Amino acid sequence: MTGTAFLPEGVEPLAVGERAPDFTLVDQHGTPTRLADLLADRAVVVVFYPFAFSGICTSELREIRDRLGDFEADDLTVVTVSCDSIYSLRVWADLEGYFFPLLSDFWPHGAVARSYGVFAPTTGFAVRGTFLVGRDGVVRWTQVNEAGRQRDFGGLREAVTVMRAEAAGDSAPASTGGSATLSAGLPARAAGL
């Protein structure tokens, strides 16, 4: 994949057009969440991040919390994934007021992050990967940043707009840049560049 030179060795994210691996992980309350079950009703934004309580991760999840309407709708839902334990995630969610699923990829350590190609084996955590998965289970948009670089959710918002237009049978709006190729033919963006 081009444009991933800044990512740690061993990190090779899923690309647009690839099938998103199904998974079942428990959330901060210990409730199992399965991707396939979520996809039965709507598209899913899967957000991987390195660690609970870290500065950039807190900022990113606060953006999701504060703009939850961008991530939760009749046709869209969001889940976040880290290698933290459910106990850490529960405390963090309670402190920050996160009312969306914080999923624990704790054991087997990073297995889901590995399947999405965003687990950094040398450091033991997921890099910042965002995947828009259509109801058909195919990755429609992706952005991947190294751990120290905050993601921009603007491209995701644009991709959701395009996906909704396609679902309604409309021609896709012109891209303003920043999103990966969707079936409507928007310009490619290689892993967050």
Tell me the pLDDT tens digit for each residue of 141-151: 999 998 889 99
CATH of domain 24-167: 3.40.30.10
Q: Mean pLDDT across the chain, nearest whole number? A: 87
pLDDT reading at 181 higher than 90: no
The pLDDT assigned to 134 comes to 97
Query: Which listed residue (39, 57, 139, 147) is catalytic?
Result: 57
Residue 193's Cα: distance from chain center in Å? 16
70-88 as b/e: b if 16+ CB within 10 A = bbeeeebbbbbbbbbebeb
CA dist., res. 111 & res. 53, Å (int): 21
pLDDT reading at 5 higher than 80: no
pLDDT reading at 182 higher than 50: no
The pLDDT assigned to 131 comes to 98
Q: Which has more pLDDT, 186 or 144?
A: 144
CA dist., res. 112 & res. 119, Å (int): 8
pLDDT reading at 47 higher than 50: yes
Q: Is 83 a catalytic residue?
A: no
Domain ranges (residues) in the chain: 24-167
Mean pLDDT over 106-131 rounds to 95
pLDDT digits (tens, 9 = 90+) for 58-115: 999 999 999 999 999 999 999 999 999 999 999 999 999 999 999 999 999 999 999 9
- Predicted TM-score (pTM) of this structure: 0.86
Considering only CA atoms, which of 72, 86, 75 is closest in space to residue 32?
Answer: 86
Instruction: Specify which residues 138 forms β-bridges with.
Output: 19
Q: Is there a contact between 77 and 45 (Cβ–Cβ < 8 Å)?
A: yes
pLDDT reading at 119 higher than 60: yes
Mean pLDDT over 159-182 rounds to 69
Within the chain, where are the H helices?
A: 35-39, 55-66, 68-71, 86-96, 111-115, 154-167
pLDDT reading at 6 higher than 50: yes
The DSSP call for residue 3 is: T
